[in-house]
């Protein structure tokens, strides 16, 4: 097996999801599932996460299908993390119905030795204390990104600030950026967060795309337009996983690379929402990603061809 | 004076606007004011509209400042149209407080003879019956666009459908597209509207940019990111005016031209919202537009430079 270039830590869950189209019970989810599957199209990816003894073997097979390195996957006594939510009128608003932490409550992520030398690290959404614990184990990574959510902004602001201070890139969604910075305008919110340490901030806006901020620059990418969104769960993790996968494949990071990687992240995320769980990604090929990336370029570069 | 290349019909109003930043009384507004001012940076533009005898002369001077051809501006006995609205918590939601149609109620737009030969026509937001009346007076225009609003969708659906069937391009905002098509998903909503006649549909999404739809293609442009939006009133009209101005300057329309014109429309609109009424546009130069257009390209073309 090729050495792991990107390590991702995050949650693994069995999700029960209701959308206006359908309801699904206990399907494979969690930030690290989406992020690793997405990144695996670009680079050998190692997963750090925990499942309970009830975790279905077919779900492990799904991970294997993507070629994800599972040396960092722990199986602990107890039940796997569960989340259930409902998307009401539209796909932009969801409501959490229930959360059972189960094995996540006592999870202590330990990195296999070769993971500690991986050049790229993505701290996907999980408690900031666990993100810090993983961060402390890696040896001189080239680039570290972290994602978070409103829950940690509300209940663990101090460890979260430590994470933010220690990473190169923070990704979070629109309402989380406003909540974290206490600032309605996204440009000003991002500038405030940049002052806390990271070199880059990416604000994810779902169907409206994403924005990248650095000290002196802003970059904006729309979302790939879709006629039908079956399930937006995990879209942000898929986006970030694809972005980190692309960066890891290229092996270095600068603004041009980040912009292009946002394009790849958007494209993989646009496939991801076409089905529940990892259903669409399981059928996806790198060729399809490359084709949609080319199409995405045509449909967003407003001055790519000469007007005549 | 150079012959008018673009004719715009729409409303002229004295707006009373309250935002979280300030309140302004009876400032110059209306769809044709914003659209003509914006288009005037690109091409000789003729205005078709009506004001009352109370219309302040300094407002006419504002139109003259932009070099707008005012042969189609009528002054009628009575009061000028008035609108007042408030932007609450954020700049994306506004509430109309009062509307007084006044001279708009009996307005019958008559085109000066040379306007009838203009190659480009923009039917900015006004009653669809009036849009049709203007349309009936032009001789073989090259390209006709129309804008509308929720009010006409609700109270004048049939004349509006006649407008939609007769134009090349319909522009409308996100919620209006959903309302008009009876369809939540914007891609499907646009496809439905395209079936009613126009070759192109543009859905304006405010701070999230705009989408262009044709029979087989979709094109997406984000909005130019701003730290501070003083007053979003008229942003959609400014966008459409800049877009039509750019197309008129080039003299022909195809998808590449429309995409690039959306870039120009976005840029002029991004200046427009930096102050109330036409305040910012009055100080704007074509050089500033070109500079921001170049910057906008850099900050949205995610694969414009090679990653190394």
Please indicate whether, in this complex, the C-beta atoms of B263 and A221 are within 8 angstroms of each other. no
pTM of the model: 0.90
pLDDT mean over B155-166: 98
Query: What is the percentage of chain B residues whose pLDDT exceeds 70?
Result: 99
pLDDT tens track for B278-288:
999 999 999 99
pLDDT at A2: 85
Does A91 have pLDDT greater than 80? no
Measured between CA atoms, how close is B276 to chain A, in angstroms?
Answer: 18
Mean pLDDT over the full length of chain B: 95
Dump pLDDT digits (tens) for A149-198: 999 999 999 999 999 999 999 999 999 999 999 999 999 999 999 999 99
Question: Do A226 and B187 count as a contact with CB atoms less than 8 A apart?
Answer: yes
Q: Are A163 and A187 in contact (CB under 8 A)?
A: no
Which residues on chain B are in Cβ contact (under 8 Å) with A301? 300-301, 303-304
Q: Helix axis angle, B31-39 relative to B235-250, nearest 10°? A: 40
Q: What integer best gives the mean pLDDT of chain A? A: 95
Give the chain B residue nearest A265 (alpha carbons): B302
Of B177, B203, B284, B270, residue with least CA distance to B232: B270
Q: In this structure, are residues A144 and A123 in contact, taking their beta carbons and an 8 Å threshold? A: yes
Share of chain B above pLDDT 90, in %: 91
Domain boundaries, chain A: 6-298
Nearest CB among A185, A225, A293 relative to B218 is that of A225
Is there a contact between A224 and A296 (Cβ–Cβ < 8 Å)?
A: yes
Nearest residue, CB atoms, A301 vs list B227, B301, B307: B301
Contact A219 B300 (CB under 8 A): yes
Starting at the earlier edge strand, list the strands of the sheet with A94-100. A23-29, A13-18, A81-87, A94-100
Q: What is the CATH number of domain A6-298?
A: 3.40.1190.20
More confident residue, B263 or A95: B263
Tens-place pLDDT, residues B119-140: 999 999 999 999 999 999 999 9
- Chain A residues in contact with B187 (beta carbon < 8 A): 225-227
Confidence grade of residue B228 (pLDDT, cut at 50, 70, 90) = confident
CB contact under 8 A, A263 and B208: no
Task: Identify the pLDDT of residue A308.
Answer: 65
Per-residue model confidence (pLDDT) at position B195:
98
The CA distance from B1 to A216, in Å, is 44
Contact predicate B172/B204, CB 8 Å: yes
Specify whether the CB–CB gap between B61 and B88 falls below 8 A.
no
Tokens of A69: 């390195």
Query: Residue A21: which pLDDT band, with cuts at 50, 70 and 90?
Result: confident
Under an 8 A CB cutoff, do A303 and B263 touch? yes
Q: Pick the more confident residue, B160 or B88.
A: B160
pLDDT above 70 covers what percent of chain A? Answer: 99
Optimal mutation site among A222, A226, A261, A306, interface B, most CBs of chain B within 10 A: A222
């Amino acid at each position: 097996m090729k050495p792991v270039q990107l390590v991702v830590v995050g949650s693994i869950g069995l999700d029960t999801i209701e959308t206006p189209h359908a309801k699904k019970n206990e399907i494979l989810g969690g930030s690290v599932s989406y992020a690793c599957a997405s990144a695996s199209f670009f680079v050998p990816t190692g997963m750090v996460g925990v499942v309970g003894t009830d975790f279905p073997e077919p779900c492990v097979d799904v991970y294997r299908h993507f070629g994800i390195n599972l040396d960092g996957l722990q199986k602990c006594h107890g039940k796997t993390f569960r989340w259930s939510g409902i998307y009401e009128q539209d796909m932009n608003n969801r409501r959490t119905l229930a959360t059972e932490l189960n094995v996540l409550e006592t999870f202590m992520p330990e990195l296999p030795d070769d993971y500690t030398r991986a050049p790229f690290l993505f701290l996907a959404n999980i408690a900031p204390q666990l993100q810090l614990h993983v961060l402390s184990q890696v040896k001189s990574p080239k680039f570290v990104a972290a994602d978070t959510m409103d829950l940690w902004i509300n209940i663990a602001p101090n460890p979260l600030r430590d994470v933010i201070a220690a990473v190169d890139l923070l990704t979070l969604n629109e309402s989380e950026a406003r909540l974290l910075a206490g600032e309605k305008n996204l440009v000003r919110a991002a500038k405030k967060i940049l002052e806390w340490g990271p070199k880059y901030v990416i604000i994810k806006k779902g169907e409206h795309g994403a924005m990248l901020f650095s000290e002196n620059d802003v970059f904006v990418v729309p979302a790939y337009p879709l006629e039908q969104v079956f399930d937006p769960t995990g879209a942000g993790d898929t986006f970030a996983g694809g972005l980190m996968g692309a960066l890891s494949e290229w092996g270095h990071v600068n603004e041009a690379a980040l912009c292009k990687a946002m394009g790849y992240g958007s494209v993989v995320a646009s496939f991801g929402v076409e089905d529940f769980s990892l259903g669409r990604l399981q059928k996806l090929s790198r060729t399809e990603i490359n084709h949609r990336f080319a199409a995405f370029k045509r449909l967003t570069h407003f001055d790519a061809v000469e007007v005549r």
